[in-house]
C-alpha cells in the first residue's frame, strides 16, 4: 500500500499519526505492517543497533535516533502531534540483561522515561507498551493470569515490570492511558512474507530449529530434559507475531474509545515442549533434526502458559494463527526465502 492510499483509508484513530519506537525490530516491524494495513500513518524511531532499516515497511516514515538521548527523542516529537506512542525500543535479551544490567536499565528505563516525558510534553494521551511474561518470574500457577504476583528474576523482566508501574503512575497523575501487552513466546513471520524474525545472535528455539533444518547449524541443543513435564523439556506458549501485532492495533482502538490503563497477557493458552517444537518442525519440513541434550539454561521456568482471557474480553483479541504448525510454517517460509541473505 502506498502512503497516498493510507491517507485515503479510514483510520480507526482519526487523521493523526502514531509513533512507533523500535519499529525495525522483530515485533515492532510486524506491528508497523499491521498499523499501515489498518490505515494508520506511522512514524518509526529506531537506533538500528538491533533493528533493521529494511525490516520497516516502505510506507512508514523513519527517524534514526536513540531513546536514551533526550535530544533525539525531542527531535522526533517535532514531527508530531502523535495520537499515540507504541513503544518497542529497548533491550530484549534476558542473558544479556544479566551480563550488562547497566545497558539494560539505560535502554529500558532511562530510555523509556525520556520517551514518556516527551510524550507527555507532546500531549500524547495513549501509550501501548511492549511488555513480557518475564514480569511474572517463576509461576505459582499456570495458565498465568495478570493478577499473578510479579516477581521477575532477570534485570530484563524487572525493567518491564518497573516500566509498567511508571506507566500506571503517569496514567494516574497526567492522564496518559496505556495498555501494556505481556507477550509470551513471539514466533513465526508475516504470512505474506513481508517481515520475519532476525536476531543477532539468535537465541530463540523456533528460528534455531529452522536454521538447523536449513543446514546452518550442526545440531539443536535442548536445554534441560529433566523438567517436571511429560517429556522432560520446557513448555512455552508460542504466539504468532502477526496475532501479537493485531493486538496492538486493537489496543490503540480501545484506548481511542476510552479504555482504562491495563496490562494484558498475549498467548494462546496452550503450551508446547521443546521436543514438540522440534517434532512439529520435522513434520512441517520433512527433514530430520539432530538433537543434543544439554543441561538446563539459567532462569528457565518449566512451564509458561498464558491466561489471555482478559485480552480477549478487553480488546476482542482472537488469535488467527492458533496452532504451532501455522507458526512454524510461516517461520519456515521466511527462513527459506531470507536465510541466505542474512548469512551474507
Ligand atoms: N531452548 C532450547 N534450545 C535452544 C534455545 C532455547 O532448548 O537452543 C529452550 C529454552 O531453554 C526454553 C525454550 O526453548 O525452554 C524457549 O526458549 P526461547 O529462548 O525461545 O524463549 P524464552 O522462553 O526464553 O523467551
Confidence band, pLDDT 50/70/90 cuts, at residue 95: confident
In contact, 331 and 207? CB cutoff 8 Å: yes
In contact, 131 and 181? CB cutoff 8 Å: yes
Report the distance separating Cα 174 and Cα 167, nearest Å. 10
Report the distance separating Cα 257 and Cα 132, nearest Å. 25
Report the distance separating Cα 46 and Cα 63, nearest Å. 7
DSSP H or E stretch at residue 10: none
Residues 12 and 112 in one domain: yes
The residue contributing the CA closest to ligand 1 atom 12 is 234
CA of 187 to the centre of ligand 1 (A): 12
Residue 59 located in a structural domain:
yes
CA of 53 to the centre of ligand 1 (A): 27
Q: Which atom of ligand 1 is nearest to the CA of 185?
A: 25
Last residue of some domain: 266, 285, 305? 266
Range(s) of the domain holding residue 253: 3-187+238-266
Residues 82 and 228 in one domain: no
The residue contributing the CA closest to ligand 1 atom 25 is 185
For residues 39-67, average pLDDT:
97
DSSP H or E stretch at residue 208: helix 205-213
CA angle 259, 265, 271 (to 5 degrees): 155
In contact, 39 and 6? CB cutoff 8 Å: yes
Residues 243 and 321 in one domain: no
pLDDT tens-digit series, residues 6-35: 444 567 766 689 999 999 999 999 999 999
Residues 259 and 278 in one domain: no
Residue 45 located in a structural domain:
yes
Residues 219 and 260 in one domain: no
Last residue of some domain: 247, 266, 285? 266
Pocket-testing residue among 274, 278, 296, 306, ligand 1, by greatest number of atoms within 8 A of Cβ: 274
Query: What are the counts of helices (DSSP H) followed by strands (DSSP E) for the chain?
Result: 12, 14
- For 344, residues 6+ apart whose C-beta sits below 8 A from its C-beta are none
Residues 126 and 224 in one domain: no
What's the whole-model pTM score? 0.95
- Residue 101: CA count within 13 A, CB half-sphere: 7
By the 10 Å C-beta count (0-12 exposed, 13-18 middle, 19+ buried), 199 is classed as middle
Residue 95 located in a structural domain:
yes
- For 278, residues 6+ apart whose C-beta sits below 8 A from its C-beta are 209, 220, 222, 289, 291
- Which residues have a catalytic role annotated? 156
By the 10 Å C-beta count (0-12 exposed, 13-18 middle, 19+ buried), 139 is classed as middle
* 111-115, 137-141, 178-182, 315-319: least confidently modelled range: 137-141
Residues 47 and 65 in one domain: yes
Residues 61 and 154 in one domain: yes
Helix %, strand %, coil % of the chain (to 5): 40, 20, 40
Would you say residue 186 has pLDDT above 60? Answer: yes
For residues 218-224, average pLDDT:
98
CA of 205 to the centre of ligand 1 (A): 5
Provide the residue count of the chain.
344
For residues 199-203, average pLDDT:
88
Pocket-testing residue among 209, 223, 303, ligand 1, by greatest number of atoms within 8 A of Cβ: 223
Confidence band, pLDDT 50/70/90 cuts, at residue 342: low
Residue 21 located in a structural domain:
yes
How distant, in Å, are the alpha carbons of 9, 179, 222, 263 from that of 318? 23, 17, 31, 17
Pocket-testing residue among 133, 188, 205, ligand 1, by greatest number of atoms within 8 A of Cβ: 205
Residues 33 and 159 in one domain: yes
Would you say residue 101 has pLDDT above 60? Answer: yes
- Output the domain CATH number for residue 180: 3.40.50.720
Would you say residue 299 has pLDDT above 70? Answer: yes
- For 256, residues 6+ apart whose C-beta sits below 8 A from its C-beta are 12, 13, 14, 83, 84, 126
**How far does Cα 8 stand from its chain's mean position?**
29
Residues 319 and 287 in one domain: yes
Question: Which residues contact ligand 1 via a Cβ below 6 A?
Answer: 185, 203-205, 208, 221-223, 234, 236, 274, 297, 300
Residues 221 and 284 in one domain: yes
Q: Which atom of ligand 1 is nearest to the CA of 233?
A: 15
Confidence band, pLDDT 50/70/90 cuts, at residue 340: low
Tally of structural domains, the chain:
2
Q: Which atom of ligand 1 is nearest to the CA of 274?
A: 14
Percent of the chain whose pLDDT exceeds 70: 95
Residue 237 phi, psi dihedral angles, 5° rounding: -100, 100
What average pLDDT does the structure give for the chain? 94
For residues 175-192, average pLDDT:
98
CA of 297 to the centre of ligand 1 (A): 8
Residue 25 located in a structural domain:
yes
CA of 87 to the centre of ligand 1 (A): 24
Last residue of some domain: 266, 286, 311? 266
- Output the domain CATH number for residue 335: 3.90.25.10
Residues 113 and 140 in one domain: yes
In contact, 13 and 83? CB cutoff 8 Å: yes
CA of 335 to the centre of ligand 1 (A): 18
Report the distance separating Cα 75 and Cα 85, nearest Å. 15
Residue 196 located in a structural domain:
no
Residue 199 located in a structural domain:
no
Residue 303 located in a structural domain:
yes
The residue contributing the CA closest to ligand 1 atom 20 is 204
Confidence band, pLDDT 50/70/90 cuts, at residue 5: very low
Query: For residue 185, what is the DSSP state?
Result: E
Amino acid at each position: 500500500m502506498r502512503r497516498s492510499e493510507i491517507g485515503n483509508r479510514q483510520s480507526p484513530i482519526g487523521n493523526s499519526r502514531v509513533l512507533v519506537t523500535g519499529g525495525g525490530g522483530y515485533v515492532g516491524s510486524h506491528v508497523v505492517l499491521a498499523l499501515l494495513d489498518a490505515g494508520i500513518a506511522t512514524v518509526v524511531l529506531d537506533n538500528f543497533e538491533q533493528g533493521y532499516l529494511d525490516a520497516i515497511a516502505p510506507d512508514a516514515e523513519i527517524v534514526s535516533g536513540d531513546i536514551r538521548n533526550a535530544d533525539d527523542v525531542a527531535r522526533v516529537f517535532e514531527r508530531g502531534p502523535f495520537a499515540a506512542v507504541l513503544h518497542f525500543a529497548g533491550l530484549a535479551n534476558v542473558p544479556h540483561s544479566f551480563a550488562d544490567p547497566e545497558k539494560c536499565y539505560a535502554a529500558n528505563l532511562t530510555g523509556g522515561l525520556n520517551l514518556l516525558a516527551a510524550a507527555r510534553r507532546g500531549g500524547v494521551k495513549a501509550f501501548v507498551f511492549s511488555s513480557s511474561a518475564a514480569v511474572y518470574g517463576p509461576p505459582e500457577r499456570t495458565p498465568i493470569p495478570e493478577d499473578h504476583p510479579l516477581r521477575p528474576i532477570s534485570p530484563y523482566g524487572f525493567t518491564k515490570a518497573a516500566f509498567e508501574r511508571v506507566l500506571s503512575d503517569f496514567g494516574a497523575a497526567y492522564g496518559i492511558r496505556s495498555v501494556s501487552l505481556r507477550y509470551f513466546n513471539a514466533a513465526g513471520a508475516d504470512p505474506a512474507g513481508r517481515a520475519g524474525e532476525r536476531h543477532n545472535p539468535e537465541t530463540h528455539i523456533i528460528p534455531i530449529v529452522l536454521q538447523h533444518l536449513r543446514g546452518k547449524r550442526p545440531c539443536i541443543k535442548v536445554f534441560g530434559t529433566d523438567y517436571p513435564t511429560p517429556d522432560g523439556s520446557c513448555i512455552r506458549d508460542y504466539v504468532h507475531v502477526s496475532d501479537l501485532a493485531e493486538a496492538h492495533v486493537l489496543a490503540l482502538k480501545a484506548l481511542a474509545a476510552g479504555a482504562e490503563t491495563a496490562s494484558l497477557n498475549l498467548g494462546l493458552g496452550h503450551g508446547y515442549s521443546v521436543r514438540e517444537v522440534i517434532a512439529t518442525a520435522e513434520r512441517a519440513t520433512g527433514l530430520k533434526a539432530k538433537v543434543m541434550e544439554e543441561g538446563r539454561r539459567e532462569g528457565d521456568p518449566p512451564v509458561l502458559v498464558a491466561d489471555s482471557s482478559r485480552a480477549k474480553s478487553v480488546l476482542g483479541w482472537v488469535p488467527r494463527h492458533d496452532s504451532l504448525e501455522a507458526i512454524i510454517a510461516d517461520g519456515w517460509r521466511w527462513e527459506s526465502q531470507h536465510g541466505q541473505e542474512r548469512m551474507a
